[in-house]
Amino acid sequence: MATEEKLYSDIPPTKLRNKEEKFKPAKTNRFWLTVASLFFFNMLQNRFYAFRYKGAESYFERDKEVPTIIFAPHCNWWDGIVLYNIAHRICRKEIRLMVEELNRFPLLRRGGAYSVNKKSAQTAMQALKYSVDVLGDLRNILFIFPQGIIRPPHYRPYKFQTGLSYIAQNAVKKYGKVNLIPVSIEYCFLRDNRPEVLVDFGERIVLDNPKVDRKEFTEYLENKLTETSDRQFANISQGNIDDYKILFKQHLKWYRRIEQRLKRIDLPDVSGV
C-alpha cells in the first residue's frame, strides 16, 4: 500500500533537506518578465473559471512615493502564481517574492523571485536585508508569506515569523515610510464546474515609526490579515460577490450554455390538471 504523503510540516523545507544553499537574488529582464507574465496568466486561465478581486483601492490610493509590501497567507502551490498576476496585471509592478526552495526552480529568478535558506541564519538574514533593498526601487512590490511555511486553508490563528516586521522596520529607517497591505486569497467553487480565485485587498497600513516594538507589530499585522480573511470568508459564504472586479472570466462550456438556455424555457403544463 502506498504511503500517504505528509501534506504539512512545521519544519521549513530547507531545514528538512539539510543542504547548504547560497543566496540568489532576483534576475529579471524585459524578455523573461513578458514570458513569465503570459505563462502564469495562461496557467490560471487553464485551471480556473474566473479571477475576481476587490479592495484594490487600498493599493491604488497609496502614497506612490512610499515603498509597498503586500502580505498574504500561504496554503497551496497556486499562491505564488496568483501573487505574480496581482503584481503584473492589477498593480502593474514587478514582483519581488522570497522563495525558500528557489534552487530547485532557478528560472523563477527571471520572474522576480529570490532565495531564502532557513537552515542558515546568515543566509536567511541576507534574504531579509535584500528585501529591504529591493523596496527602494518603486518599480517593485515586495510580496511576503509571513507565516514562513505552508499551512492548511483557513488555518487559524495566523502566526507570523518576525521577518515581515524586520523588513518593514528597516524599510522605515531607510526610506522614511512603508505601506503594508494584507491580501486574502480564496479558491472556491461557486456556480461553475471549475473553481475560482477570489482576492481581497485589506486596509492599508502605513508605518512611519522605526522604533515600533517588533513583537507587538507582528501581532498587529496578524490581526489585520485575520480580519481581511475572515471578512472575505463571511462574504463568500453569503454569496456576496457582486462587488468583485473581474481580471478574467471564461466563456461557458457548451453544456453549461445549454443548461442556461433550458432555464429560460417555460415548459408547458402537460399534467392534465
Second CATH level (architecture) for the domain 21-263:
3-Layer(aba) Sandwich (3.40)
Instruction: Give the model's pLDDT for residue 273.
Output: 43
Q: Dmax of the chain from CA atoms?
A: 83
Instruction: Kindly compute the dihedral angle of the four CA atoms of residues 57, 209, 158, 41, in this order, to the nearest 10 degrees.
Output: 40
Residue 250, judged by CB atoms within 10 A of its CB (0-12, 13-18, 19+), counts as middle
pLDDT tens digits, residue range 167-219?
999 999 999 999 999 999 999 999 888 999 999 999 999 999 999 999 999 99
pLDDT tens digits, residue range 96-144?
999 988 888 889 999 999 999 888 888 889 999 999 999 999 999 999 9
Residue 206, phi then psi, degrees to nearest 5: -110, 115
Instruction: Give the model's pLDDT for residue 255.
Output: 58
Domain boundaries, given as residue ranges, for the chain: 21-263
Mean pLDDT within 40-64: 97
The partner residues of 113 in beta bridges, in order of sequence, read 97
